[in-house]
């Protein structure tokens, strides 16, 4: 007598729960194991990586963010996963399930490129240096940084794009006090494209650096998390030199109140 074949009620969204899950069950506490299962169901199957925030994890598991941090530390200590988050629970980061606990084969890693890694590290420091940027330098940021490196985009151009984008952000804050922080490297991608069409001398960039330093000092003195440096008049930003056909410090891009560039 032939056995009746099993038919899945829902053929989508399945995860290969085998020896890896069983091993994690013996190592983790109930809360940490529940988080591990959540990661397995939501992480990319080809990489074992989930990009998220601690706030989203807490909401998905009906736990507090302090509990989520505790579970992540437990899993990291047990070698189950590695997480990368900033101090803010709302900041995006990523979690990667380790090879031992991931049932799917991951693609072979490319040979590390020291030059590309140094390039990405420099961009990370440039982002961290600005108060208006709150970025954990996510996997998406690193991918974009490596893409720029492979495309031959110079660090000077990117530094200038970050400089210009931050000045515009402070100007936008001056008029829209509830504007949010910058959360990713992708925010500056459109500014890079714009700079390709500009011809501005070094004197202007030196001036803009001094201008940004003054705006940031006022911002730091204000000590408000997202309040604008309202002592800084916006309309005193000088135009670039006459040889520039188009001013890169023209009116800030049309940003609606609370509408930030997508960080996806």
pLDDT tens, position by position, 7-57: 777 766 677 888 999 999 999 999 999 999 999 988 888 888 999 999 999
Q: Quick check: is 14 in a domain?
A: no
**Domain-located, residue 236:** no
CATH number at residue 61: 1.10.10.10
From 79, 101, 123, the end of a domain falls on: 101
Whether residue 125 sits in one domain with residue 95: no
Instruction: Let me know whether 59 and 139 are in one domain.
Output: no
Would the pTM count as exceeding 0.75?
no
260, part of any domain: no
How many domains are contained in the chain?
Answer: 2
92 in a domain, yes or no?
yes
For the segment 69-128, what is each residue's pLDDT rounded down to a tens digit? Answer: 999 999 999 999 999 988 888 888 899 999 999 998 887 765 668 888 899 999 999 998
Q: Does 156 score more than 70 pLDDT? A: yes
Q: What are the Cα distances from residue 29, in Å, to 71, 73, 84?
A: 8, 12, 21
The pLDDT value recorded for residue 70 is: 95
Query: Is the per-residue pLDDT at 5 higher than 80?
Result: no
Of 34, 68, 101, the residue that ends a domain is: 101
From 47, 70, 101, the end of a domain falls on: 101
pLDDT at residue 179 in the model: 65
Per-residue model confidence as pLDDT tens digits over 56-67? 999 999 999 999
Task: Return the pLDDT at 231.
Answer: 45
Same-domain status, 88 and 157: no
Task: Tell whether 72 and 142 lie within a shared domain.
Answer: no
Pair (41, 89) in one structural domain:
yes
Residue with the larger pLDDT of the pair 159 and 137? 159
Classify residue 233: in a domain, yes or no: no
| Residue-range definition of the domain harbouring residue 31 | 19-101
In-domain check, residue 29:
yes
Q: Which residues of 91-127 are buried (b: 16+ CB within 10 A; e: fewer)?
A: bbbbbbbeeebbebeeeeeeeeeeebeebbeebbebb
Element (H, E) at 53: strand 49-53
Mean pLDDT, residues 146-152: 89
- For residue 133, the cross-strand partners are 182
Question: Is 121 in the same domain as 217?
Answer: yes
Residue 128 lies in a domain: yes
Whether pLDDT at 260 is above 50: no
Q: Are residues 143 and 79 in the same domain?
A: no
Together in a domain, 119 and 209: yes
Tokens of 162: 């970050």
User: What pLDDT does 2 receive?
Assistant: 61
Looking at the structure, do residues 121 and 64 belong to the same domain, yes or no?
no
Helices 155-175 and 114-128: crossing angle in degrees, nearest 10, is 20
């Amino acid at each position: 007598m032939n056995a009746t074949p099993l038919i899945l009620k829902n053929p989508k969204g399945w995860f290969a729960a085998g020896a890896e899950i069983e091993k994690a069950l013996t190592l983790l506490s109930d809360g940490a194991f529940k988080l591990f299962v959540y990661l397995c169901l939501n992480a990319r199957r080809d990489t074992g990586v989930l990009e998220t925030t601690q706030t989203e994890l807490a909401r998905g598991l009906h736990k507090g963010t302090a509990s989520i941090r505790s579970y992540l530390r437990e899993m990291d200590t047990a070698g189950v996963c590695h997480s990368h988050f900033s101090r803010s629970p709302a900041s995006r980061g990523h979690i990667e399930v380790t090879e031992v606990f991931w049932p799917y084969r991951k693609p072979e890693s490319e040979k590390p490129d020291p030059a590309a890694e140094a390039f990405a590290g420099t961009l990370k420091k440039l982002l961290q240096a600005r108060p208006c940027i709150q970025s954990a330098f996510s996997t998406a940021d690193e991918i974009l940084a490596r893409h720029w490196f492979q495309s031959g985009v110079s660090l000077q151009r990117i530094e200038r794009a970050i400089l210009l984008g931050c000045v515009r952000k402070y100007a936008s804050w001056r008029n829209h006090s509830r504007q949010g922080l910058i959360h990713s490297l992708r925010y500056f991608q459109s500014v890079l494209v714009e700079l390709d069409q500009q011809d501005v001398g070094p004197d202007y960039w030196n001036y803009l650096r001094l201008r940004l330093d003054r705006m940031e000092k006022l911002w730091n003195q204000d000590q408000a998390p997202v309040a604008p440096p309202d002592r800084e008049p916006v309309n005193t930003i000088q135009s670039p030199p006459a040889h520039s056909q188009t001013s890169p410090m023209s009116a800030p891009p049309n940003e609606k109140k609370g509408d930030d560039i997508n960080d996806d």
